[in-house]
């Protein structure tokens, strides 16, 4: 069982899930770079409209910097065709992907309840049987994340009026997979999530289809 999202690539290598993977929300490419370097699969699709950002208050300049940083970081892989940067929203991009064609989907885009739910509805049917869907930020619903450091990840509800991006991953993921009609018989091995300390306080969840 992976204890960190850094172990997903090794898990996929061991499971022979070596076709196409998707990261929904790539930002500066921090995770995409690690994933690409460690995963032996063919193609990683990075889906991010980039200019959208984490929350409404971000400047256009910051978003342009994130996009350039990502392009620079992934340049080698883009040049050899093992990464494609796709500047579209998650649900728009999902419409262009074949059903049950993906080995791995990692959801880390719009963290609102509706955003995560829309991502799950859009991408779950596109994961192949035996593939994995996963996502970042398994932190309590309603907590907001500030800045970049884990020390600010668990800002309390008292801080809600402050700016920050609200996270409703747990509720959306639990509601989606708790609905029996979304769990094809024999294909579901349960909802898994890492300890609250994983990845510096930013744990991931995953489901095998
Ligand atoms: C938390 S960051 C991603 C970080 C990255 N996964 C990592 O770990 O290195 C969230 C990203 O999601 C993108 N985003 C927001 N809404 C999105 C959507 N509807 N579809 C795809 N990406 C989205 C933002 O532009 C931002 O770059």
Query: Which residue segments constitute the domains of the chain, with CATH numbers given?
Result: 5-208 (3.40.50.150)
Tokens 């489901």 belong to which residue?
A: 207
Question: CA 44 to CA 174: how far, in whole Å?
Answer: 26
The pTM for the full model equals 0.91
Contact 20, 42 (CB under 8 A): yes
Contact 180, 191 (CB under 8 A): no
Mutate which of 23, 25, 62 for ligand 1 pocket (most atoms within 8 A of beta carbon): 25
Q: Which residues line ligand 1 (CB under 6 A)?
A: 23-27, 30-31, 47-50, 52-54, 89-90, 108-110, 136
| CA 26 to ligand 1 center in whole angstroms | 5
Shortest-distance atom of ligand 1 to CA 51: 25
What's the confidence (pLDDT) of residue 159? 47
74-108 per-residue burial string, b: 16 or more CB within 10 A, e: under 16:
beebbeeeebebbeebbbebbeebeeeebbbbbbb
- The secondary element (H helix, E strand) that includes residue 134 is strand 127-136
| CA 39 to ligand 1 center in whole angstroms | 20
| CA 186 to ligand 1 center in whole angstroms | 32
In this structure, which residue's CA is closest to atom 19 in ligand 1? 89
User: Where do runs of H (alpha helix) occur along the chain?
Assistant: 8-15, 30-38, 60-73, 75-80, 90-94, 113-123, 169-178, 198-201
What's the confidence (pLDDT) of residue 70? 97
Mutate which of 21, 26, 87, 150 for ligand 1 pocket (most atoms within 8 A of beta carbon): 26
CA distance between the termini of the chain: 15
Return the bridge partners of 136, or none.
204
The SS3 assignment for 180 reads: helix
What's the confidence (pLDDT) of residue 191? 87
Question: CA 25 to CA 115: how far, in whole Å?
Answer: 12
What's the confidence (pLDDT) of residue 60? 83
Mean pLDDT per 10-residue section of the chain, whose length is 209 residues: 96 98 97 98 97 70 91 98 97 98 96 94 96 93 61 47 69 86 59 90 92
In this structure, which residue's CA is closest to atom 1 in ligand 1? 108
| CA 144 to ligand 1 center in whole angstroms | 15
What's the confidence (pLDDT) of residue 207? 93
Tokens 């995963």 belong to which residue?
A: 39
| Length, in residues, of the chain | 209
| CA 168 to ligand 1 center in whole angstroms | 14
Contact 112, 162 (CB under 8 A): no
């Amino acid at each position: 069982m992976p204890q960190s999202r850094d172990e997903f690539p090794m898990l996929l290598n061991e499971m022979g899930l070596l076709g196409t993977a998707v990261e929904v929300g790539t930002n500066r490419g921090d995770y995409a770079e690690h994933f690409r370097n460690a995963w032996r699969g063919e193609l990683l699709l990075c889906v991010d409209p980039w200019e959208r950002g984490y929350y409404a208050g971000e400047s256009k300049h910051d978003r342009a910097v994130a996009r350039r940083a990502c392009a620079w970081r992934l340049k080698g892989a883009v040049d050899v065709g093992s990464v494609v940067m796709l500047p579209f929203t998650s649900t728009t991009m999902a419409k262009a992907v074949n059903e049950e064609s993906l080995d791995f989907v990692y959801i880390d885009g719009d963290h609102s309840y509706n955003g995560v739910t829309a991502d799950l509805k859009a991408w779950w049917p596109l994961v192949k049987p035996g593939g994995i869907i996963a996502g970042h930020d398994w932190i309590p619903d309603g907590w907001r994340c500030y800045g970049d450091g884990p020390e600010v990840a668990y800002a309390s509800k008292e801080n809600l009026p402050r700016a920050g991006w609200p996270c409703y991953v747990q509720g959306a993921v639990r509601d989606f997979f708790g609905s029996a009609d979304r769990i094809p018989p024999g294909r579901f091995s349960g909802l898994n999530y890492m300890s609250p300390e994983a990845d510096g306080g930013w744990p991931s969840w995953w489901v095998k289809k």
